[in-house]
Amino acid sequence: MATIKRALISVSDKSGILELAQALTKLNVEILSTGGTAKLFRDNQIPVIEVSDYTGFTEMLDGRVKTLHPKVHGGILGRRDLPEHVAAMKEANIPNIDMVVVNLYPFEATVAKPNCTLEDAIENIDIGGPAMVRSAAKNWKDVAVLTDASQYANVVSELKSTGGALAEATTFALSVAAFNRVSQYDAAISNYLSAIDYAASMANNQPVTHQFPAQSNTNFVKVQDLRYGENPHQQAAFYRDLYPAPGSLVTAQQLQGKELSFNNIADGDAAWEAVKSFDTTACVIVKHANPCGVALGATALDAYSKAFQTDPSSAFGGIIAFNTTVDKAAAEVVSKQFVEVLIAPDYTAEALAIFAAKANVRVLKIALPTGGATAWEQGRNSHESKRVGSGILIQTADNHEISQSDLKIISKKQATPQQMADMLFAWRVAKYVKSNAIVFCGNEMTLGVGAGQMSRIDSTKIAIIKAQNAGLSLQNSVVASDAFFPFRDGIDALAEAGASCVIHPGGSMRDEEVIAAADEHGLVMVVTGIRHFRH
């Protein structure tokens, strides 16, 4: 148990601090505070002793030195259970400080401002705050450390219920949170400074940053432990970014169903990222990280019915995502198939009642991002990463958007507006299919998806087989390929299957041969100049 008799409060973000200080005062806790915090307390008739009066050392150097004093750090760090410490503190006239409430200079918010100067950034590096946080966190058996306003209410309620003490489990948890906060803070400083191009910054008289800093520090926060990983013999947990993008999978609210598994989360992300990329009502069904059915529709039911038709056998046990509210009509039909996970921005009450009868189905609700200037505000990661050996590959995310004006028709045959629209739909789907990706589409739905093959011709053949298996005609279909066709064989195969248009990046050594094949077959061929490999 840590008995709280004296608290040092020094906060930049003053939200909730008056309520905390009032509660501490009622519990007879003596409060020490730094300049701005002490003034706020005095203005609100809360008894407070200024740290400078307490130490006898006036704050100096524009606040750079306020609490860096043995009477502060000795009071926090001295062990109450060691007679030598107790004697040394008595000898030096250093009383115990049992609680430290500190939040730090707003470094992260400062550097996020568009015109932040290097000088502003440096001035917002807190030194005394983290030092006190670390001292208190190290001495957690005797000292409580609060670093975030969200912790105040629980601490106050425990203090009230015990008459002024906190359990070791509480002070340990606070200590862990404090070290985590300091590590996040230092990571933010290190990331910012590591990205500065010093020479360019000096030449331009403002900070110029590299896309990829000399050191990359990331903080992930655990969302939940998972029963197992990709396979049952692997252990796993799910972590989120410190500041998750709005509308990303980690912001999901699970409304019902079994616990999410590792593969559910990975596949759920693939389905959600794909479906939310469409502006009109869409449904995406994913199996093993690949869409096995994607469609647009007038309603959720219409989109689902079309998406399901692409590959009913693969859709069994799939992850189904909508970018629109799931209503009764859609729920009635969806609930007839075996579904692992359902994702949508919302559900009607009637739809939820239908799924409630299927207790195992995991139903996730994710608010669609409302938009903004940055990729993050639009709900997208700005960067992607992939572990390799003892390294990590980091790249900017594949957030490329194409519009009709970016497309170039390179065949003799021209496209109708409907074919153009179908090709743009197919191209969007192909972006979410693992390479080599070949996607046949028509009538705003996928007709056959060939994914993840080592050769493009095999993906083409698989897509054709998929359509045949589902009984879907490929006559007059459009085809998207995530990368160029290296040989004409793919073009021959898709033309023979009945396709009328093909969209791909172009740029192969044998483009001439490929274009000639398209013209021979009377195909429309459109190039994007952009590739969408996905591994």
- Region of 63-71, 80-88, 284-292, 488-496 interacting with ligand FAI (CB under 6 A): 63-71
Number of residues that bind ligand FAI (CB under 6 A): 21
DSSP codes of every residue in 176-245: HHHHHHHHHHHHHHHHHHHHB-HHHHHHHTS--B-SS-SS----EEEEEEES-SSSTTS-EEEEEESSPP
The least distance separating ligand FAI from the CB of residue 23, rounded to whole angstroms, comes to 19
Q: What are the angstrom distances between the C-alpha of 13 and each of 9, 325, 368? A: 11, 38, 30
Q: Which two tokens stand for residue 194?
A: 């590591």
The least distance separating ligand FAI from the CB of residue 117, rounded to whole angstroms, comes to 19
Residue whose CB is less far from ligand FAI, 66 or 365: 66
- 173 interacts with ligand FAI by CB under 6 A: no
Considering 138, 141, 328, 358, which one is annotated as catalytic? Answer: 138
Q: Strands 478-481, 438-442: parallel, antiparallel or unpaired by DSSP?
A: antiparallel
The least distance separating ligand FAI from the CB of residue 14, rounded to whole angstroms, comes to 8
Among 3, 5, 12, 251, binds ligand FAI (CB under 6 A): 12
Q: In what order do the strands lie in the sheet with 438-442?
A: 253-256, 362-365, 339-344, 318-322, 282-287, 290-296, 445-450, 438-442, 478-481, 501-504, 524-527, 408-409
Q: Show the site string, 301-340: x = touches ligand FAI by CB under 6 A, - = not.
A: ----------------------------------------
Is 138 noted as a catalytic residue in this protein? Answer: yes
Q: Show the site string, 420-439: x = touches ligand FAI by CB under 6 A, - = not.
A: --------------------
Q: Strands 501-504, 99-103: parallel, antiparallel or unpaired by DSSP?
A: unpaired
Q: Which two tokens stand for residue 229?
A: 């990983």
Among 10, 52, 55, 477, binds ligand FAI (CB under 6 A): 10
- Region of 29-37, 173-181, 235-243, 520-528 interacting with ligand FAI (CB under 6 A): 29-37
Restricting to residues 479-518, name those near ligand FAI by CB under 6 A: none
Distance CA(512)–CA(526), nearest Å, equals 14
The least distance separating ligand FAI from the CB of residue 102, rounded to whole angstroms, comes to 5
- 86 interacts with ligand FAI by CB under 6 A: no
- 16 interacts with ligand FAI by CB under 6 A: no
Among 66, 71, 287, 504, binds ligand FAI (CB under 6 A): 66
- 54 interacts with ligand FAI by CB under 6 A: no
Q: Strands 282-287, 290-296: parallel, antiparallel or unpaired by DSSP?
A: antiparallel
- 269 interacts with ligand FAI by CB under 6 A: no
Among 30, 108, 126, 142, binds ligand FAI (CB under 6 A): 126
Q: The tokens 């390799």 sit on which residue?
A: 388
Among 63, 164, 244, 452, binds ligand FAI (CB under 6 A): 63
Q: What are the angstrom distances between the C-alpha of 10 and each of 83, 146, 174, 177, 531? A: 29, 11, 17, 17, 53
Q: How many other CB atoms are there within 10 angstroms of residue 388's CB atom? A: 8
- 105 interacts with ligand FAI by CB under 6 A: yes
Neighbour-count burial of 22, counting CB atoms closer than 10 A to its CB (0-12 exposed, 13-18 middle, 19+ buried): middle
The least distance separating ligand FAI from the CB of residue 31, rounded to whole angstroms, comes to 12
- 55 interacts with ligand FAI by CB under 6 A: no
Task: End-to-end CA distance of the chain: give it in Å, rounded.
Answer: 53
Residue whose CB is less far from ligand FAI, 57 or 487: 57
Is 90 noted as a catalytic residue in this protein? Answer: no
Residues 6+ apart with CB under 8 A from 181: 104, 133, 147, 148
Q: Strands 49-50, 30-33: parallel, antiparallel or unpaired by DSSP?
A: parallel
Among 46, 104, 159, 447, binds ligand FAI (CB under 6 A): 104
Phi-psi group of 371: left, alpha or beta (phi > 0 → left; psi -120 to 50 → alpha; rest → beta):
left
Restricting to residues 353-372, name those near ligand FAI by CB under 6 A: none
The least distance separating ligand FAI from the CB of residue 241, rounded to whole angstroms, comes to 24
- 67 interacts with ligand FAI by CB under 6 A: yes
The residue among 124, 135, 129, 122 whose CA lies nearest residue 77 is 135
Considering 5, 14, 288, 328, which one is annotated as catalytic? Answer: 288
Q: Which two tokens stand for residue 157?
A: 């309620």
* β-sheet bridge partners, residue 321: 284, 343
- Region of 126-134, 241-249, 263-271, 422-430 interacting with ligand FAI (CB under 6 A): 126-134
Distance CA(247)–CA(244), nearest Å, equals 9
- 257 interacts with ligand FAI by CB under 6 A: no
- 96 interacts with ligand FAI by CB under 6 A: no
Q: Is 90 helix (H, G, I), strand (E, B) or coil?
A: helix
Q: Where on the chain is the footprint of ligand FAI (CB under 6 A)?
A: 10-12, 34-37, 63-68, 102-105, 126-129
Q: Provide the annotated active-site residues.
A: 138, 288
